Amino acid sequence: MIYLDYAATSPMTEAAIDAYSQIAKEVYGNTSSLHDAGGKAHFLLEEARAIIANKMGVNRDGIIFTGSGTEGNIIAILSLARAGKGRHVITSAAEHTSVHAAMNTLEREGFEVTKLSLTSDGVINLDELKGAIREDTVLISIQHVNSEIGSIQPVEEIANIASEHGIPYHVDCVQSFCKLDITQFSQKVDSITVSAHKIGGPKGCGAIYLNPRRRIVHVFPGVTHEKGIRGGTVDTPAIVAMATAVEQYKYHLEKHWQLRKRLKEIISDSPIDWIESQEEKQFPSICGLCIPGLEGQYVMLSLNEENICISTGSACDINSASGTKAIIAMGHTLSKARQFFRVSFGEGTTEQHIELLCTQLNRLATI
């Protein structure tokens, strides 16, 4: 099997599996218990918190462990928006499904949500963002790397705009954490979401950073774990495994650019369209493609028959009938959106994998 769906999830590393297994067997105490078994678990929890905070470049007091990136986005957005004095929130039309879920909740509570479109490069227009800000704007939530086409949003510039207006800024870094340097802007934003399974950690584990200086309203008042922000006994084995993955994960940027360029080179003579940004705004290991006349789902299923795994976009949108959000936000037609499919590389991807993929793509493009 050739796995080319790393933007959906990645295999756990051996180190993360070993860490999970060891802690699950040996450290079974509740981190909130006051006996020695609980104390040992609590020590490992706080050690992991420090590791992840250090990688993010933020204060460890702001790190809250969650059950996923999805849960993290929802908790962060609702906690910050509900704490504001206004009822207006700004996001983009191409955010992850979990962000839109949080926005839907806020709209039901009487908030007004402005969803910015994307330019032909797949990024927001900063002037449009500035024009959308109102006196009652209480939150901006715009991702770092888009999970469908890999465009990189100008997070630092957005953070500066948000700061000028005193507006909290939440950024979804699930696709970029440990791959791009988020410490360049982490001190300027108020909330960050990350996930373990995109970097070789376990599924069902993530973390958010919430600026300790920002006022928040707890989504579930009365819970006690994780400073009352996220209730439930924490999954110590998963959290330690996540920290292990964070410490060991290596993203070889040049390797992924070479794979992307090789993919482009081999299919250059085929009528295959790329949905991408300019190179300086593009994350190399997420490739958005379309074969005119073929639905993305057909391409995906055809490749699956050849033991090649790709996707038609975010796994969280797999049942959507409207195509991918990023394509629509860029102004493409619904027909184009339905032709979309995504190829995403990981550390296990080789040039031979790309060549075998291209053989099948070229075949499909000539049907």
Q: Is 287 a catalytic residue?
A: no
Q: How many CB atoms lie within 10 A of CB 45?
A: 21
Residue 59 is given by DSSP the state -
Burial track 17-27 (b if 16+ CB lie within 10 A, e otherwise): bebbeebeeeb
Which of 154, 147, 182, 171 shows the shortest CA–CA distance to 287?
A: 147
SS3 state at 259:
helix
* 247, two tokens: 């410490």
Read off the amino acid at residue 116: L
Return the SS3 of 151: strand
Which value, in Å, is the radius of gyration of the alpha carbons in the chain? Answer: 21
Among the listed residues 287, 290, 309, 316, the single catalytic one is: 316
Are 67 and 229 in contact, with CB atoms under 8 Å apart? no
Alpha helices for 197-235 (secondary structure H): none
Spatial distance between the Cα atoms of 144 and 155, rounded to a whole number of angstroms = 6
Please state whether beta strands 308-309 and 137-141 pair in parallel, antiparallel, or not at all (unpaired).
unpaired
Spatial separation of the C-alpha atoms in residues 366 and 360, rounded to whole Å: 10
CA 299-312-169 angle, to 5 degrees, is: 160
Q: Which residues pair with 65 in a beta bridge?
A: 207
Say which residues have a Cβ less than 8 Å from residue 72's Cβ, sequence separation at least 6. 64, 66, 193, 194, 195, 206, 207, 208
Distances (CA, A) of 201 to 8, 131, 248, 367: 13, 40, 10, 40
Task: Please say whether the beta carbons of 125 and 119 come within 8 A.
Answer: yes
How far is Cα of residue 238 from the mean position of the Cα atoms in its chain? 18
User: Active-site residues: which are they?
Assistant: 316
